[in-house]
Structure formats: C-alpha cells, structure tokens
C-alpha cells in the first residue's frame, strides 16, 4: 500500500514536470513563430518603403537639342568719324535633332546688327537634313548650308580662332563666308594607304544673298563645288591635313566665275599635356577667274597664313598674315597683319583681343582693335575637326 502511494506520487510529479516542459516548448515556439511572422511582414513592407526613394527610369527624350551662342564686340578703328563701336555682333540660335535612325535635321537662325543701318536682322543660315545610313560610306545633305570650300568657309565666325575671317574670304565671298542651297554628297574614299580621304561634291545655288564672286543666277546655270580632303596622322601628337577645292557658278554680269583653292593645316597637341599646350599652323591659297564679258577674264588670287600657340591651360596667342585681291578688279590689293590674345576659361565662354593693321593700294591704311566676348548655352554639336 505504501509502495503504491510512492509510485502514484512519483507519477504525479513526472506529469507536472512534463506539462511544464511542454508549456515552455509551446511558448518558445509561439515566440519564434511571432518573430518569424514579424520578419516576414517587415520584408514585405521594405520594398514599399524604399521604392519612393528610387528615381524612375527616364524614357528617351523626343525634344531636340537647343543652343544659343552670343557674340558681343567693342572696337576701335582709326578711320572715320565714329571710331568706337560697342554692339551685339550676332546671336545664333540652333535647333538640331535625330529625325529617325536614318536622318538628322539642323536649323540655325542668326540675329545680327547691320553696322550700316543699325537695324537688327534675322536670317535662316542653315536648314539641313542629313542622312545617317547610306551604303558605300556615303552621306547626303539637303537644304541650306556652308559649302565645303577650304577650311575657313565651312566654319561659323564664333568657332574661328581669330575675331574676323581672313581678307580673302571677305573679299571673294562675304564677311561670314559663302552659303548655298542644294545638295551635298560626301564619300569616305576606301584607301589602302595609311591616311584618311574624303571627297565632297555639292550642287545648287548661292544662298539668298549674292557675294562678290557669285550670285544665284536667273537661268539654269548652277553652282558646283568640289573638295578633296587628305588627313594624315604624323605621330601620336601631330596631324597634317591637305585639301583641294574648286567651284564654278554664275556671277552678277551673267557669266561665270571659277575659283580653285588649296588649304594646309598642321596641328600639334601632345598627349601628355593635351589640355595645357597646343600649336596650329593653317594656310590657304585661292585663285579666281571671273569672266566679265566674252573677251575679258580677270585673274586674281589671295590667301592667308596663321599660327596659334596655347601656352597655358586657358591662354592662346596667335598671329596672321593676309594678302588678297578682288575678284573683278585685278588692280586692287590689300594686305593685313593681325595679333590675337585669347582667354578661354571654359568651352562655353571666350574672351579675345585682336589688333590688325591693313595696308591698301586703293585707299588709306588703317588700324583696328577689337574685343570680343562669346558665350554658349545649351547643347551644341561638335564642329568638324
């Protein structure tokens, strides 16, 4: 009887101990389950908390590239009663964009002040559609553009290192060079030799404004322009470019003018100091035959040679010599010497000071000092090298 009571008491104690262990196990399991659920709930909520901080992926923009370039000038000229001028020379407004995978469009409007009348004029200088995917390394441009004649004519004034274009460009074409309306085809010539060749042929009419050598013409006579570019890598630091140009088109007397040219450009820019040092030597020679009548042809020529040296990160020093005739008067000639100091704090701003002395055999000689400030805003496409 006593043994039965002892066994009953031991069984009761064991039951109590077992129930406590089970209870502890259940409570631990419940705590673990609650913790696991809390972690899962936090992980599910985490993306919603982080998501607002992430910038959404931007879609491709269909807006065109827009830019504006301003050219302000102050000048002193030794001739005339009004020797000092301060004016807005030009404001260029450019809109450019890829049309589709096959073409690109560009429009350039120029706002400038006429120094003779003092009025602000607006002109559409460039309006082109250029192909991007023609076979056989061809490229086609349609519209209004600057023809590829030499190295300077294709530039816009703000990109030329000197403040004014050379006398030969001004006397034979215009102060900003020559424009034409028509078609331009360029071909990257397959060349087995170790240099680059590009052949360009253009046909159309001179732009709305005639120049000293050419006019749009009233008959079927068109303007034809050709240019062959030869580009050599002399070393890792230097390049040489030689170009040959030719054109033929109607003049203001109802006959034709033919012009041939050769240009040479040497550039040195060391890889080690490419942002600190550079040197450019550029020369261009032009020959013109302008027919004035069935019996008379005037043969004239002109050219220029310039050097520019970058001696600091933002400082450039240049010198240029010009000599030029006039397309319809073989007796008139002029020469000019120019010195240039250019400060370029960034690629969006340029300050330049130029002194020029001009010698003429048909009028008085004169001196001129010009200070130019250029700024650029927006996305502006790179110019040709």
Taking the CA atoms of the chain, what radius of gyration do you get in angstroms? Answer: 37
Structure tokens given for 217: 């013409």
First to last CA, the chain: 117
Note whether residue 123 is domain-resident: yes
Residues 71/91, Cβ–Cβ less than 8 Å: yes
Distance CA 244, CA 150 (A): 7
Distance CA 212, CA 210 (A): 7
pTM comes to 0.80
Please report, for residues 38, 61, 207, 300, 320, the alpha-carbon distance to residue 303 in angstroms, rounded to integers and kept in the order given. 85, 46, 23, 11, 11
Residues 76/84, Cβ–Cβ less than 8 Å: yes
Note whether residue 96 is domain-resident: yes
DSSP three-state, residue 28: helix
Note whether residue 350 is domain-resident: yes
Q: Please, which contacts does 289-293 make with residues 24 or more away whose CB atoms are closer than 8 Å?
A: 289/257, 289/258, 289/259, 290/213, 290/251, 290/255, 290/257, 290/258, 290/327, 290/328, 291/251, 291/253, 291/255, 291/256, 291/257, 292/253, 292/255, 292/328, 293/253, 293/255
Note whether residue 263 is domain-resident: yes
Note whether residue 42 is domain-resident: no
**Number of structural domains found in the chain:** 1
Structure tokens given for 384: 């040709």
The reported pLDDT for the residue numbered 72 is: 94
The reported pLDDT for the residue numbered 194 is: 85
Return all residues near 271 (Cβ < 8 A) that are at least 6 apart: 236, 237
Q: What is the residue-level pLDDT of the chain in tens, covering all 385 positions? A: 444 454 444 444 444 444 444 344 444 444 445 555 655 565 555 444 444 444 444 445 678 889 999 999 999 999 988 899 998 889 999 999 999 899 999 999 998 876 566 677 888 999 999 999 899 999 999 999 999 999 999 998 888 999 999 999 999 999 889 999 999 999 999 988 888 999 999 999 998 778 999 999 888 899 999 999 999 999 999 999 999 999 999 999 999 999 999 999 999 999 888 889 999 999 999 999 999 999 999 999 999 999 999 999 999 999 999 999 999 999 999 999 999 999 999 888 999 999 999 999 999 999 999 999 999 998 766 556 5
Task: State pLDDT tens for residues 223-237.
Answer: 999 999 999 999 999
Residues 149/133, Cβ–Cβ less than 8 Å: no
Distance CA 266, CA 231 (A): 10
Note whether residue 18 is domain-resident: no
Note whether residue 384 is domain-resident: no
CATH code for the domain of 279:
2.40.160.10
The reported pLDDT for the residue numbered 250 is: 95
Residues 231/241, Cβ–Cβ less than 8 Å: yes
The reported pLDDT for the residue numbered 275 is: 86
Note whether residue 50 is domain-resident: no
Reported as type and span, the H/E element at residue 24 is: helix 2-50
Residue 143 gets the label, from left (phi > 0), alpha (psi -120 to 50) or beta, of: left
Question: What is the extent of the structural domain holding 169?
Answer: 65-378
């Amino acid at each position: 009887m006593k043994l039965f009571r002892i066994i009953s008491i031991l069984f009761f104690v064991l039951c109590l101990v077992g129930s406590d262990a089970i209870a502890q196990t259940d409570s631990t399991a419940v705590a673990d389950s609650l913790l696991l659920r809390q972690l899962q709930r936090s992980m599910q909520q985490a993306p919603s908390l982080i998501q607002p901080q992430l910038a959404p992926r931007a879609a491709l923009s269909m807006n065109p590239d827009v830019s504006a370039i301003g050219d302000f000038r102050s000048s002193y000229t030794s001739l005339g009663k009004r020797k000092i001028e301060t004016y807005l020379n030009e404001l260029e407004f450019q809109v450019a964009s890829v049309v589709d995978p096959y073409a690109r469009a560009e429009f350039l409007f120029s706002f400038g002040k006429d120094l003779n009348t003092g009025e602000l004029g607006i002109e559409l200088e460039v309006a082109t559609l250029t192909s991007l995917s023609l076979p056989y390394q061809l490229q086609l441009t349609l519209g209004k553009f600057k023809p590829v004649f030499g190295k300077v004519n294709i530039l816009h004034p703000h990109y030329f290192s000197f403040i004014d274009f050379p006398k030969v460009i001004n006397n034979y074409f215009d102060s900003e060079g020559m424009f034409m309306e028509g078609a331009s085809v360029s071909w990257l010539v397959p060349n087995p030799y170790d240099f680059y060749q590009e052949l360009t042929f253009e046909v159309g009419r001179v732009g709305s404004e005639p120049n000293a050598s050419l006019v749009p013409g009233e008959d079927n006579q068109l303007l034809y322009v050709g240019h062959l570019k030869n580009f050599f890598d002399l070393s890792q630091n230097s390049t040489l470019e030689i170009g040959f140009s030719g054109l033929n088109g109607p003049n203001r007397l109802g006959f034709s003018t033919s012009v041939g040219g050769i240009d040479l450009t040497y550039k040195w820019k060391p890889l080690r100091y490419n942002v600190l040092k550079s040197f450019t030597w550029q020369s261009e020679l032009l020959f013109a035959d302008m027919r004035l009548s069935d019996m008379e042809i005037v043969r004239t020529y002109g050219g220029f040679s310039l050097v520019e040296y970058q001696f600091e990160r933002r400082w450039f020093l240049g010198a240029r010599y010009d000599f030029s005739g006039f397309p319809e008067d073989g007796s008139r000639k002029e020469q000019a010497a120019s010195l240039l100091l250019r400060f370029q704090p960034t690629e969006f701003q340029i300050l330049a000071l130029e002194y020029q002395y001009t010698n003429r055999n048909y009028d008085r000689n004169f001196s001129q000092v010009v200070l130019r400030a250029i700024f650029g805003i927006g996305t502006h496409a790179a110019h040709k090298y």
